[in-house]
Structure 1
Amino acid sequence: MRGTTIAIEDNPDGQGRRAALIVDGQLDDLLIDPPGGEALVPGAIVRAVMNRPMKGQGAATVRLPDGATGWLREAKGIAPGTPLTVQISTHAEPGKAIPVTTRLTFKSRFAIVTPGAPGLNVARAIRDEELRDRLDLLARDGMDGTEGLGLVIRSAAEAASEEEVAADIADMRALAEAILAEDGRSPELLVAGPDAAERAWRDWPAPDTVDDVPGAFDRHGVNDQIDALRAPRERLSSGAWMSVEPTSALTAVDVNTGGDTSPAAGLKATLAAIGALPRALRLRGLGGQIVIDCAPITKKQRIEVEAAARRAFKRDAVDTQFVGWTPLGHIELIRKRERLPLREVLR
């Protein structure tokens, strides 16, 4: 099946939704809401109350709604008991507080409003100078009279009408101004985090078709492809393969040449694994520390492998940083925990 399709359906437990991006018949991205209708998900904005500072760290814990605890890194100078507006930044690691930030973003498909970070910007991916000028004018009109609010016009605006972009700017500005005017004192959920369908609309490219009729995942073969993700092994070209296995401390990626014993096999398998890894991590919802045990390569070939890794993850939707090489020749990556692991949301 050629083309791009977004399939959307309710979770089996009736709480939340799931969305799949299918490109030419292959599952390319997958978003599944947490089980049980969890409210404190990345993107949610809440009123928190300062709890206690962590001595010598400049960080603190904060009280969140429903008795949850947050972890705020930029807490220096904030007195205990102070109410403050924060945004859930990532999913918490098991047994740890939920990471939050005071740097709020109000994000939609075409516009992002940024309190405390003034300035008007158009995405660099939009290269048409005439269009950039029109969007810049829309931005100036839409943010006229604001104080302390910045705006980013996203790359999706390139294919949108001026009316759609202007409406998005107005909506995000109004929401930001309303939240910043809040003056409550107790922990409270102020803006719910986006569910899977909302994130798909906001962040994925416009598809050729959208199927949101019940049974969409079965019709497009998504459930079968999800079942395949339960296994760690991913096939690569020429018989090579890699295994992607999460542990409590990190995700280990092991690259193997398979039956290919030629001198070039190690580099070929490693480059194939690097190219396939963003999708493999994305679909499995894996973040944190990633360690890659490459197939046999020389130190000279590491330059090519590192460049390939930087290119591959630059295009990925989840922020991933190349950390470096370990003394044993493993690659280390740090990946943002934007999603829960697939094994958890499928419980």
Structure 2
Amino acid sequence: MKGSVIALGEIDGKRAAALIRDGKLDDFVVEAGENAPPAPGSIFRAKGGRLLKGMGGALLDLPNGESAYLRGSKGLKPGAPMLVQVTHIAEEGKAVPVTTRLLFKSKYAIITPDAPGLNISRQITGEDALIILHDLAAETMEGADETLGLILRSACEGAKPEDIIEDIAAMRALAEAVLADREGAPELLVDGADPWEIAWRDWDADVFDDSEDAFANHGVEEMVDAALDPRCPLTGPASAYIEPTRALVAVDVNTGGDFSPAAGLKANIALARDLPRQLRIRGLAGQITLDLAPMPKKDRRQFEHSLRAAFKADGKDVVLAGWTPLGMFEVQKKRTRMPIAEALK
């Protein structure tokens, strides 16, 4: 089916959201559960803990005896309260990674404390649209503390002015309330976005289906079952196996029954083009090691070009580390969600 669909539903009593493009699952998010680490975007009032000498950071105290890791310790006072935001999913047994640079993010607007000024998405280029957005921002941010900055997202293009104003005002009010609540014991102040909010805030599609039968209407559960299968079909007889371990995500590519001279390159490029989607729908990240199908060294540059193009939209969240002495290719991806296999246990 051509076109794109956002479907909201539940799996095993947990909220979930699916983005489907041209009949294929393009993204999928599911609630991690009560005992999962704090979601990225969560904001805490933490308490300054002990410095980690030689590591360039510090451990902070969070509610319920949990610990957070803050990179950089400049100006940190042990025992003093401070506001921090979760940057990515904590690995099992490790402290929650946080930053002191807070962002209050919604569909149209992002409020940036301690980063003043107005920035409008570069994807919006029309002069009239830019003037209108500038005036809306000035009107809604009038009287705000001069340390508050504002970013207007690409979703503003074509949106109703009243919706944009409402969004900016809501994020401004939330930011002001949180920034005024610095004193006290460690406490969770803002929850990270759940799957339904992520879908509304960050995804765009032709159809938005939040009916009770949304998942059944679009075959989402069958697509999720396929995403739980380690085997990932590629072009022709080629396939890949994507299997997470505690230390890394292993990806093994093989050509199946194709023994032609170009079979290895074709399979590897097919994997490169589909790998970002496969990682998204499976919720996999961290260190990713690709055991590619055999191909001549002269073809490596072509493979790297395809991989770089495929991950372009991920920006700084993905680092292409390069080749190992054994001919593996390594990728590092920021952990922004729980693996769906763990979330759906």
Q: Tell me, yes or no, whether TM beats 0.5.
A: yes
Cross-structure match for 2:38:
40
**Structure-to-structure mapping, 1:161-172, within 5 angstroms:** 161-172=160-171
Q: CA deviation at 1:58?
A: 2.3
Distance 1:297 1:230 in 2: 28
Cross-structure match for 1:109:
107
SS of residue in 1 equivalent to 2:297: coil
**Structure-to-structure mapping, 1:167-178, within 5 angstroms:** 167-178=166-177
Q: Is the 8 A contact 2:68 2:98 kept in 1?
A: yes
User: Against the structure 1 CA distance between its residues 2 and 209, is the aligned structure 2 distance closer, same or farther, given a 3 Å change threshold?
Assistant: farther
Distance 2:273 2:41 in 1: 29
1:2 aligns with 2:2: yes
Identity, % of aligned positions: 51
Distance 1:336 1:210 in 2: 29
SS of residue in 2 equivalent to 1:166: helix
Under a length normalisation based on structure 2, what TM-score does the superposition of the two structures give?
A: 0.94
Distance 1:150 1:37 in 2: 34
User: Against the structure 1 CA distance between its residues 258 and 318, is the aligned structure 2 distance closer, same or farther, given a 3 Å change threshold?
Assistant: farther
Q: Which range moves more in the overlay, 1-10 or 223-232?
A: 1-10
Distance 1:254 1:205 in 2: 32
Q: CA deviation at 1:190?
A: 0.8
Q: Is the 8 A contact 2:291 2:328 kept in 1?
A: yes
For residue 335 of structure 1, what is the amino acid of its counterpart? K
1:278 aligns with 2:273: no
Cross-structure match for 2:322:
324
Give unpaired runs (5+ residues) of structure 1: none
Q: Is the 8 A contact 2:82 2:182 kept in 1?
A: no
Give unpaired runs (5+ residues) of structure 2: none
**Structure-to-structure mapping, 1:1-347, within 5 angstroms:** 1-13=1-13, 16-36=14-34, 38=36, 40-145=38-143, 146-213=145-212, 215-316=213-314, 319-347=317-345
Equivalenced residues, count? 344
Distance 2:134 2:331 in 1: 36
After superposition, what is the alpha-carbon deviation per residue over 1:245-298, rounded to whole angstroms, capped at 9, x for unaligned? 111111111111222222222211111101110111001101111111222223
Distance 1:74 1:311 in 2: 33
Q: CA deviation at 1:3?
A: 2.6
Distance 1:114 1:11 in 2: 34
Distance 1:152 1:163 in 2: 17
Distance 1:69 1:2 in 2: 47
Distance 1:128 1:249 in 2: 47
User: Against the structure 1 CA distance between its residues 243 and 114, is the aligned structure 2 distance closer, same or farther, given a 3 Å change threshold?
Assistant: same
Q: CA deviation at 1:318?
A: 8.9
Q: Which range moves more in the overlay, 190-199 or 117-126?
A: 117-126
Q: CA deviation at 1:180?
A: 0.8
Distance 1:39 1:251 in 2: 20
SS of residue in 2 equivalent to 1:80: coil
User: Against the structure 1 CA distance between its residues 212 and 51, is the aligned structure 2 distance closer, same or farther, given a 3 Å change threshold?
Assistant: farther
After superposition, what is the alpha-carbon deviation per residue over 1:91-144, rounded to whole angstroms, capped at 9, x for unaligned? 110111111111100000011111122221111222323323322333333334
SS of residue in 1 equivalent to 2:167: helix
Tell me: higher relative CO, structure 1 or 2? Use CA pairs within 8 A at least 6 residues apart.
2
Q: CA deviation at 1:74?
A: 2.4
Distance 1:63 1:128 in 2: 47
